[in-house]
Amino acid sequence: MEHAAPAIFVALEASDFALGIRKSLWLYPAANIGHIVALVFFAGAIAVMDVRLLGGLAATAPGRLLAGARNFAIAAFVGMAATGSMLFAAEASHLAVNPVFQVKLALIGVGLANIAIYEFGVRRAVDGLAPATPMPAAAKIAGALSLGIWVAVAACGRSIAYAG
């Protein structure tokens, strides 16, 4: 290949772990399906949280709804990271230099930063609110950003195969 990847990614792709994934008839497709299943749960949980932050689903107190959805989102994110690592390892030297993959990883970083800002800066103003209370502007911004960022991450993920 004419586009050279850093040695660490070449080594990862050549590792027994990555070779095992490529050699197996079912491991790669299983990781692929697992990634999508985890994505469905993640998207569902995130959508509930974002809609609540934007003021929807207002019949339930935000702290309570967010707490339940948060656990789903964390579990699903772990599932996505695990299956995504398998898919990445199998083709590490290509993916590391794939521009869409790089954008996707950067967007995941932005998404996690948005979550961190919410959790440490905004959450305390939201958790105690009663049902049907107007949401603080900072919460709405966090929810809107989250929706946009994660949709863009998904779009990038689907586009990787066509760009690198």
Binding site for another protein (CB under 8 A): 1-3, 19, 21-29, 90-91, 94, 97-100, 103, 152, 155-156, 159, 161-164
Q: How far is the CB of 9 from another protein (least distance, A)?
A: 14
Going by the DSSP 8-state scheme, the letter that residue 15 receives in this structure is: S
The C-alpha atoms of residue 103 and residue 149 are separated, in whole angstroms, by 11
Name which of 67 and 106 has its Cβ closer to another protein.
Answer: 106
CB 99 within 8 A of CB 163: yes
Q: How far is the CB of 99 from another protein (least distance, A)?
A: 5
Structure token digits, residue 4: 């050279």
Name which of 120 and 162 has its Cβ closer to another protein.
Answer: 162
Name which of 76 and 156 has its Cβ closer to another protein.
Answer: 156
The C-alpha atoms of residue 96 and residue 90 are separated, in whole angstroms, by 11
Q: How far is the CB of 34 from another protein (least distance, A)?
A: 14
The C-alpha atoms of residue 132 and residue 152 are separated, in whole angstroms, by 30
